[in-house]
Amino acid sequence: MKWNRLMLVLALLTVFIIVGCSAESSDVSKQEEEKEDATAEIEQTNKITDALGNEITFEKTPESFAALNPGEIEMLVALGANVVGRPTTHGPAIPGTEEAHELGNPHNPNFEKIAEANPDVLIVPPSFQQCANNLQNQGMKVVYTEANSVADIQKTLKNYGVMLNKVEEAQKIIDRIDADIAAIEKVQPVRTLLVYGAPGTYLAALPTSLSGDILEKVGGENIAADFPKEDQYPQYASLSVEKIIERNPEAVMLITHGDPEAVRGAFENEMMKNPAWKNLDAVKAGNVTVLPSHLFGTNPGTKIVDALEEMKNQLQEVQ
Asked whether the whole model's pTM tops 0.85, one would answer: no
What is the spatial distance between Cα 307 and Cα 314, in angstroms, rounded to a whole number?
A: 11
Q: What is the pLDDT of residues 170-208, one digit of tens each?
A: 999 999 999 999 999 999 999 999 999 866 678 999 999
**Each residue's pLDDT tens digit, 95-112:** 999 999 999 988 889 999
> Which pLDDT score, from 0 to 100, does residue 38 have?
40
Interval 58-103: pLDDT, tens: 989 999 999 999 999 999 999 999 999 999 987 788 999 999 999 9
Rounded Cα distance between 255 and 118, Å, is 33
pLDDT averaged over every residue in the chain:
84
Are 141 and 123 in contact, with CB atoms under 8 Å apart?
no
φ/ψ of residue 116, rounded to 5: -65, -45
The span from the CA of 139 to the CA of 144, in Å, is 16
SS (H, E, C) 88-107: CCCCCCCCCCCCCEECEECC
Where helices occur in the chain by DSSP H, the ranges are 2-45, 70-78, 111-117, 132-137, 150-163, 167-182, 210-217, 241-247, 260-272, 281-284, 293-296, 304-318
pLDDT score, position 268:
73
- The torsion angles phi and psi of 273, rounded to 5 degrees, stand at -70, -25
